Amino acid sequence: MTHLQDVAGGVCPPVRACFSYPAPPHAGIYPDYLGCECLFDQAQCELIYDSAILDRKPQLAHPLTTALLQETCDRLIGQAKTSTGISGEVYQCLMAVPGSFPDMESVAKSMHLISRTLRRRLDDEGTTFQAIVDDIKRSLALEYLKTTKMSTEDVAMLLGFSDAANFRRALKRWTGKGTEALRG
């Protein structure tokens, strides 16, 4: 926690702390020290933080180290999404042909399923087909905007948007930022 506070630059207590062991006699002081709800007899030990902490710029990091770590994290998150369960299979189907986003019926057919079964299995994993499509489009949009000089119109076309205005609205919904802010 102290290291994270140093890196994040300020107080950032976890939302919840989970411990895999039974509550000790002094369990009452845990919330005082950690500043959050503490649960015992959990499956694993973990500190759970609000995802807003990821938007903070590291205070002690060297710019090159920051860029390298961000790249590594993005790659690992991407690999995790594409390697687990039915949603991982959907990610792989959707990314098989860059610039082409088949509909749910086509993806289900390629997976030898009916769309109703695919929808149910994705629901069991806590996601939807549209959420996966949006995640892929968001990731690609960020990559294109940060690493290329393509126009907003070209990026919109590559991602299957009918026009740049619809793309800009989707980008604002996904990130809360406009194209110029994301290019910087």
Q: Residue 136 — pLDDT band, cuts 50, 70, 90?
A: confident
- Kindly report the pTM of this predicted structure: 0.57
What is the pLDDT at residue 68?
63
Task: Over range 82-98, report the average pLDDT.
Answer: 80
Residues facing residue 46 across a β-bridge: 18
Inter-residue contact 140 to 94 (CB < 8 Å): no
Task: Over range 131-156, report the average pLDDT.
Answer: 86
The rounded radius of gyration (Å) of the Cα atoms in the chain is 21
* Fold assignment, 63-183: Arc Repressor Mutant, subunit A (1.10.10)
Task: Over range 3-32, report the average pLDDT.
Answer: 84
Q: Rounded distance, CA 12 to CA 66, Å?
A: 19
Give the DSSP letter string of 68-117: HHHHHHHHHHHHHHHSSHHHHHHHHHHHSSTT----HHHHHHHTT--HHH
Reply yes or no on whether the pLDDT at 30 is more than 90.
yes
Task: Over range 27-35, report the average pLDDT.
Answer: 91
Reply yes or no on whether the pLDDT at 111 is more than 90.
yes
Q: Write down the domain spans for the chain.
A: 2-55, 63-183
- 140 or 66, which is more confident? 140
Which of 88, 179, 73 has the alpha carbon at shortest distance from 127? 88
Which of 176, 130, 139, 131 has the alpha carbon at shortest distance from 158? 139
| pLDDT tens digit sequence for 36-62 | 999 999 999 998 988 887 777 666 656
Reply yes or no on whether the pLDDT at 76 is more than 60.
no
